[in-house]
Structure 1
Amino acid sequence: MPTPTRCPNILLYGFASSLLIALSACSYDVPEPVKPASVKPPVTYERARLASAPAMNKHISAEYADVVSHARALSVPIDGQFNADTSREQYQHYPANPVMAAAQNPVSTFSIDVDTGAYANVRRLLNQGQLPQPDAVRLEEMVNYFPYDIVGQNRESPFALSTEVAQTPWNPQSLLLRVAIKAQDRSVAELPPANLVFLVDVSGSMDRREGLPLVQSTLKLLVEQLRAQDHVSLVVYAGNSSVVLAPTSGSDKATIRAAIDGLRAGGSTAGESGIELAYQQAQKGFIKQGINRILLATDGDFNVGISDFDALKRLAASKRKTGISLTTLGFGTGNYNERLMEQLADAGDGNYAYIDNLREARKVLVDQLSSTLAVVAKDVKIQLEFNPAQVSEYRLLGYENRALQREDFNNDKVDAGEVGAGHSVTALYEVVPVGKRGWLEPLRYQPRATGPAKQAVSDELAMLRLRYKAPGQNTSRLLQVPIAKPAQVAAIATASQDMRFATAVAAFAQQLQGGQYTGQFTLKDSAELARKAKGDDRFGLRAEFIQLVELAQSLQTSTPDLATH
């Protein structure tokens, strides 16, 4: 145990209780781990915090890792600040999408994704001084965090569709194909009545500033947007679950706010019983032709009742058939179960967001409230068929957790993603044109696609197909749009502003995951590409992204210095 060196005089004031208070006020000298006497400079909080980043451990000398480990074991600060330990956080691993040969595998199929939680979570980790582990980075959620201007509208569908092709900045042999979709927007006033259930984790793990207090502030932002025709219930769970507030009209904001303010954290986490009770409340207040949604606010650290990951997913999937969706709002650090939060929302026909500050809460529950609550299309699937006469190889950037089999596209029983009002979705493919050098060795015994299959389609790069269901319907509709080969491929510097910015975000996400395909394209290059595509940036989101890239760059360049001291 460390030896106290300086204690205030409050040791004189009492017995056991006073002694505990006094000890908590003591400052301690952290025992030095075994290390060479010549180590300079001294270990600081910043250096120890960098040493804790999993992606950087291979660069860190053992002496610094020992200091961090020792300090954590004692639960004491280094240089007056606490290091955020994310070792218990849980993330799902997905292998990167493989490179596909268009001649053998011309079809790519996936479910649309409009979650944005990965971006906010990566931002939180970077702001804590850590490079995120690769599994925390989902490229499509990083790209789709930002709004884009998508022109055009198909009157026969709720979507605007657009495509663009430009030179890949990290690979002179390939092109980037951007597929962009935007759903029709709706104002909050136009939304149907809402039956909302706030399901709040009040277990002991939420008893911290970024836990329950941030949840309370977040939900009160949403309360201000409620209308008289909306109703809210409040369900909480810790060791057991209970109804704190029966369905209450949105006009009675004072009552709802008081119920939220009265929440206190403590106890274990019976998440399954809370979810069951929330669905019961949602069913009691069910509004036909309305919005029926549960908003689960938690760190996902379930430890009582059903804690099996697959069982919780099955529970959410079975309940979505009743017309009640589940949105997950992630909070907290250290023990955060991102894997559960993202996939529960997927199974529950909802969306997932991570709330790291009130600005993010406002973005999700005020600025984008219509998108968060109102679904304009469900089971949305995208399929691209590449033309082997023009494309030799391709790879889909991101969407690893949304991959579908080719036959799933036409099967209306296969679940897919939901799109909210005003949501924009971007997907990027890296495409190698015929005649350019790709990633794959040519096959010896297979004919090469060197000539057009049909004269009528020889100038098409691909056929874009989109399938979706209107809310309340079980039969899907099909949209088809051919993607023509551009007469002249634009350099990335002359591509549209949105294309350039989306490319910068995609590059950054890949770099955080190890940069397997980004070659010599650096974080500095990503920041510069984004900076030149910042545009109007009404909410400052793009400027913040540039700062995050520069922060990641400083964390990476700091690593070798640690090893040299």
Structure 2
Amino acid sequence: MTSKDDDDDLFDLDALRAAMKGATPAPDPAKRDADLRLAQENFAVLQGSRPDARLTSDREPRGLLRGMRQMLNTLTGRTGLGLTTALVACGIFILSPMGEDLMQRAPGLGPQEPAPGPVSQPDQMPEPMADSLPAPEAEMQAAPRAEETLPLSGPDDRLRTGPADGTVVLGEMAEMAEEAPAFVESGDLNAPAPLQRLAAPTPSAGIAPGGEAGYIAAEPPLVLPGPDTETFANAEDNPLRIAAEEPVSTFSIDVDTASWSVIRSSILGGYLPPAEAVRIEEMINYFPYDYAAPEPGEAPFRPTISVFETPWNEGTELVHIALQGEMPALADRPPLNLVFLIDTSGSMADADKLPLLKQSFRLMLAELRPEDEVAIVEYAGSAGVALPPTAAGERSTVLAALDGLGAGGSTNGQGGLEQAYALAAEMAEDGEVSRVLLATDGDFNVGLSDPSALEDYIADKRETGIYLSVLGFGRGNLDDATMQALAQNGNGQAAYIDTLSEARKVLVDQLTGALFPIAGDVKVQVEWNPAEVAEYRLIGYETRALAREDFANDRVDAGELGAGHSVTAIYEVTPVGSPARLTEDLRYAADSPQADAAHDGELGFLRLRWKEPGEDVSQLMETPIALPEGAARPGTEAAFAAAIAGFGQLLKDSPYLGSWGYDEAIALATESRGDDPFGYRNEALQLMRLAQSLAD
């Protein structure tokens, strides 16, 4: 049995204190400064990387020194102090590298290799093994919880969990992942793509920047395209007609240009346009031409006729008929009351619809005079006035109302039209011009969505002197048939805007012609001389055909010719006796017509009818179509129009072209490009080349 003195010698508390004090390293100012810099750098890197508060423990602080201090302050017996000191020494040995190595060698002892993945919080209950559950439940069990945090392996490897679905994001993408959908609706192309967490690493899985396997960037968002509901106003191609049986051809002029823009949009999109979207007369009339203008005191337009050999069909001839409208002095134009009727339905949310529309109207606003008035009516599920009548000079007020428009809801076209016409009527005063300018993708799904009902409604309103023009935006649900019905019956123009350059062409360069007509209800009638012409066909104008008796009927509506506008029509005719004739004489037909000496040298006879603006009675202009003298060559303007007519027929796969193809069309357009100050003809050449590549 040991004595008290022996116990004191064995457990000398002073010696133990001295030993521990000696083992404590001396302060190192250099190392302290380095550690402080590192802490500041880590704080700067990780600043803001964790939006949630750090998890803290509600237990009292722990630590070796704190425990020893508490032990020394609490325990007074030397025996107890000795025992606890021995236990502390054993713990220090076990925690040392030598002790860890010894414990790892002993089977079943010591810490095991940690499993990869998040560490459970102290207050979490143990979870069942994932491989003991059915497959779906195992996957759910393996997924991290929304509030678990992942360890950081370095200042640049900032990983944290996103929403409750376990999405893992990197750095700055963390905030966007909380709102990123798994699928993106059609048109939402700018939505961020979330990062996905794999349930378990696979051989093909990527490695996150921090070196953690199983975290990879997701594939781009799956865009769900909307159904293609586009409809186009068109009809079967004009057939070949026999002059002896049907010598008269009648049609209304057409100054619309929408078809060319739709064709361009399609080709630049990497595909050929559908045949029903190709209206050749609109392709030809898209381009400005250098036709002879009327002299002062003459009719508001001058016709020009040329006859030349058909480029694609030897033995036939093209009869090129052009009308050039006069351009009155801009200073003489009356004040303008303009109502913007803007479709703000959900289908207008795409970038090439409402956003492009706003940019386009900004260009137009700069062309208006301070005394002109502007109003804005928007329509979606319901219609409302976004801007009451406001002087165009108050630019900031108009632009603020325009910028405040947003897309959403269905398309109540009827409500919008009614309110726009009512507002235009309030703005109208004697001597002023009032117009409604409708901007839409044509998707009318509420109200008067039937084109025939729209025709009647608009036809009634045009009698008040308020005309309607239509601007189409976007693709996918473009209702061209409705747009054409509105514009034709509203005595206005239909255009399709797919680029800001096209907006400038329509709303700036051609604004005067679009809003100020110089001739109304313009009709064209050609009577062919059966003694000279065996067959003929009109290229285009299928949707503008009129009955023969409609020509002299002033109650029948037709197209308007705007200030400075030109209109072109092309016939292909087969002379009598030509080997290119496709039909034969009938067995029981009357004798072949004989030429009338009084009309010798006439291929046909051109008649034109029009009304002065605001008048109800039409005027008549007549002129013969003379036979060409020898092998006449076309002028530059007529040849380029023929090249565009050939291009349109190639797009429609016309049976009348024979072996004539894109090479010939491109060559003809190149030779006749002429003066091209705005680059429109050069653009046509580029589109021809692209279409040729797509057609091969």
TM > 0.5 between the two? Answer: yes
Q: How far off its partner does 1:502 sit?
A: 0.3
Q: How far off its partner does 1:305 sit?
A: 2.1
Q: Which residue of 2 aligns with 1:55?
A: none
| CA distance in 1 between partners of 2:270 and 2:376 (Å) | 36
Q: How far off its partner does 1:290 sit?
A: 2.2
Q: Which residue of 2 aligns with 1:553?
A: 692
| CA distance in 1 between partners of 2:593 and 2:245 (Å) | 14
Q: Which residue of 2 aligns with 1:76?
A: 222
Offset from partner CA, 1:414-436 (integer Å, 9 cap, x none): 10110100010000000111111
Q: How far off its partner does 1:11 sit?
A: 7.2
Out of 361, 364, 373, the position equivalent to 2:506 is: 364
In structure 2, the CA distance between the partners of 1:274 and 1:22, relative to structure 1 (3 Å rule), is closer
Q: Which residue of 2 aligns with 1:465?
A: 607
| Shift >4 Å, 4+ stretches | 8-11, 16-20
Q: Which residue of 2 aligns with 1:12?
A: 161
| CA distance in 2 between partners of 1:455 and 1:22 (Å) | 80
1:86·1:333 contact (CA, 8 Å) conserved in 2?
no
Q: Which residue of 2 aligns with 1:270?
A: 412
TM-score for both structures, normalised by structure 1: 0.85
Q: Which residue of 2 aligns with 1:114?
A: 255
2:679 aligned partner, one-letter code: G
SS in 2 for 1:247: strand
2:293·2:324 contact (CA, 8 Å) conserved in 1?
no
| CA distance in 2 between partners of 1:376 and 1:125 (Å) | 33
Q: Which residue of 2 aligns with 1:21?
A: 180
SS in 2 for 1:482: strand
Out of 272, 277, 289, the position equivalent to 1:131 is: 272
SS in 2 for 1:327: strand
Q: Which residue of 2 aligns with 1:32?
A: none
2:523·2:551 contact (CA, 8 Å) conserved in 1?
yes
User: Quick check: 1:538 aligned with 2:680?
Assistant: no
| CA distance in 2 between partners of 1:382 and 1:166 (Å) | 20
Q: Which residue of 1 aligns with 2:59?
A: none
Out of 518, 524, 527, the position equivalent to 2:663 is: 524
SS in 1 for 2:616: coil
SS in 2 for 1:25: coil
| CA distance in 1 between partners of 2:340 and 2:181 (Å) | 40
Offset from partner CA, 1:6-39 (integer Å, 9 cap, x none): xx987712336956527461489xxxxxxxxxxx
Q: How far off its partner does 1:291 sit?
A: 1.5
2:253·2:524 contact (CA, 8 Å) conserved in 1?
yes
In structure 2, the CA distance between the partners of 1:210 and 1:152, relative to structure 1 (3 Å rule), is closer
Superposed, which structure 2 residues align to 1:104-253 within 5 Å? Answer: 104-151=245-292, 153=294, 155-253=297-395
Q: How far off its partner does 1:281 sit?
A: 0.4
In structure 2, the CA distance between the partners of 1:421 and 1:465, relative to structure 1 (3 Å rule), is same
In structure 2, the CA distance between the partners of 1:162 and 1:267, relative to structure 1 (3 Å rule), is same
In structure 2, the CA distance between the partners of 1:481 and 1:121, relative to structure 1 (3 Å rule), is same
Out of 293, 307, 331, the position equivalent to 2:473 is: 331
In structure 2, the CA distance between the partners of 1:104 and 1:241, relative to structure 1 (3 Å rule), is same
User: Quick check: 1:501 aligned with 2:640?
Assistant: yes
1:183·1:423 contact (CA, 8 Å) conserved in 2?
yes
| CA distance in 2 between partners of 1:11 and 1:267 (Å) | 37
Q: Percent identity?
A: 46
Out of 451, 455, 464, the position equivalent to 2:594 is: 451
User: Quick check: 1:101 aligned with 2:101?
Assistant: no
SS in 2 for 1:195: strand
Q: Which runs of 5+ in 2 are unaligned?
A: 1-156, 166-175, 183-191, 197-219
SS in 1 for 2:180: helix
Q: How far off its partner does 1:87 sit?
A: 2.8
Out of 457, 460, 463, the position equivalent to 1:315 is: 457
Q: Which residue of 2 aligns with 1:416?
A: 558
Q: Which residue of 2 aligns with 1:92?
A: 233
| CA distance in 2 between partners of 1:9 and 1:158 (Å) | 74
Offset from partner CA, 1:104-126 (integer Å, 9 cap, x none): 11111000110011101110111
| CA distance in 1 between partners of 2:477 and 2:392 (Å) | 34
Mean Cα displacement is larger for which, 144-153 or 200-209? 144-153
1:101·1:392 contact (CA, 8 Å) conserved in 2?
yes
Q: Number of paired residues?
A: 497
| CA distance in 1 between partners of 2:484 and 2:385 (Å) | 25
1:241·1:274 contact (CA, 8 Å) conserved in 2?
yes
1:465·1:481 contact (CA, 8 Å) conserved in 2?
yes
Q: Which residue of 1 aligns with 2:583?
A: 440
Pairwise CA RMSD: 2.1
1:390·1:458 contact (CA, 8 Å) conserved in 2?
no
SS in 2 for 1:21: coil
TM-score for both structures, normalised by structure 2: 0.69
Offset from partner CA, 1:424-472 (integer Å, 9 cap, x none): 00000001111113122321111353531x2121210111100000001
Q: How far off its partner does 1:390 sit?
A: 0.9
Q: Which runs of 5+ in 1 are unaligned?
A: 1-7, 29-73, 558-565
Q: How far off its partner does 1:329 sit?
A: 0.3
SS in 1 for 2:502: helix
User: Quick check: 1:305 aligned with 2:431?
Assistant: no
Q: How far off its partner does 1:308 sit?
A: 1.8
Q: Which residue of 2 aligns with 1:351?
A: 493
| CA distance in 2 between partners of 1:464 and 1:315 (Å) | 33
Q: How far off its partner does 1:149 sit?
A: 1.1
Superposed, which structure 2 residues align to 1:20-39 within 5 Å? Answer: 21=180, 23=182, 25-26=193-194
| CA distance in 2 between partners of 1:193 and 1:304 (Å) | 34
